[in-house]
Amino acid sequence: MYDALLRDTGLKASQLSVLAAVDSAESVSIAELSKRLAMDRTTLTRNLKPLLDAQLVHVGEEGWRRSKLVRITKAGQQRLSTAIPLWERAQEDIGNRFGQKRWQTVRSHLRDLASQY
């Protein structure tokens, strides 16, 4: 349902999460990105591929310890700035449907869960 809001951006919700995580760091290794997102590397790679194909992120050559660094491109930053307001609208819609207080409680529990990884 919420992927439909992002359709015009060409992003799925999972890809938006990856793009936002890459943007929050100047550059980040795939291993660190996987850890930050609590996402296994196979799933992360699957979500990175369309972002790479659309030139929204760039993956560098292997470096120290065979790690590859990922960074967001200008096109990626522009796409992200288009997608974020849509994502915020989706979050607001969930809160309205679920009840703002209950939604804040769920979000708090999700943050607690994510902090364990």
Residue 7 placed within a domain:
yes
Residue 50 placed within a domain:
yes
State yes or no: pLDDT of 99 exceeds 70.
yes
Other C-beta atoms closer than 10 Å to the C-beta of 42 total 9
Report the CATH number that the domain containing residue 45 is assigned in CATH.
1.10.10.10
- Greatest extent of the chain over all pairs of C-alpha atoms, in Å: 48
Confidence band, pLDDT 50/70/90 cuts, at residue 5:
low
Task: Find the angle CA(7)-CA(20)-CA(38) to the nearest 5 degrees.
Answer: 105
Residue 38: give the domain boundaries: 2-84
Can you tell me the mean pLDDT for 58-75? 81
Q: What is the pLDDT of residue 115?
A: 80
Q: What is the pLDDT of residues 13-51, one digit of tens each?
A: 889 999 999 999 878 889 899 988 888 989 999 999 999
Q: What percent of the chain has pLDDT over 70?
A: 90
pTM, two decimals, is 0.82
Residue 29 placed within a domain:
yes
Other C-beta atoms closer than 10 Å to the C-beta of 35 total 14
Torsion sign across C-alpha atoms 46, 52, 58, 63: positive
Residue 108 placed within a domain:
no
What value does the CA radius of gyration of the chain take, rounded to a whole number of Å?
15
Confidence band, pLDDT 50/70/90 cuts, at residue 72:
very high
Residue 43 placed within a domain:
yes
Question: What is the count of structural domains for the chain?
Answer: 1
Residue 38 placed within a domain:
yes
Residue 59 placed within a domain:
yes
Give residues with Cβ within 8 angstroms of 39, minimum separation 6. 18, 47
